[in-house]
Amino acid sequence: MTNPKCPNCGSLDTRKYLYGYPPSNYDSDLYVLGGDVLFESNPLYHCNNCGTDFGLMVAKVEGSEILSQHNLENFTFTEYTPSREFTRLIVGEQRGEILVNVHGTLEEGGDREAEKEYIITEELWEDFKQRLFNEVYILSWPIEELKHVPEEPDMWAIHLNFKNGKKFEMVGRDNFPPYYKEFKDVIDQFFIYD
Report the side by side order of strands in the sheet with 45-47: 31-33, 14-18, 45-47, 53-54
Q: Which residues pair with residue 161 across a beta bridge?
A: 74, 167
Measured in Å, how far apart are the chain's first and last C-alpha atoms? 40
CA 64 to chain centre: 21
Instruction: Work out the mean pLDDT of the chain and round it to a whole number.
Output: 86
Homologous superfamily of domain range 69-190? Mago nashi (3.30.1560.10)
More confident: 88 or 81: 88
Q: What pLDDT does residue 114 have?
A: 86
Give the C-alpha separation, 97 to 125, whole Å. Answer: 10
Given a cut of 70, is residue 150 above it in pLDDT?
A: no
Comparing 29-43, 134-148, 151-165, 168-182, which segment has the lowest mean pLDDT? 134-148
- DSSP 8-state class, residue 189: G
Listed by start position, the domains of the chain span: 14-58, 69-190
Given a cut of 80, is residue 145 above it in pLDDT?
A: no
Give the C-alpha separation, 115 to 89, whole Å. Answer: 10
Comparing 64-68, 86-90, 176-180, which segment has the lowest mean pLDDT? 64-68
3-class DSSP state for residue 124? helix
What mean pLDDT is predicted for residues 96-117? 82
Q: What angle do CA 101, 105, 131 make, to 5 degrees?
A: 45
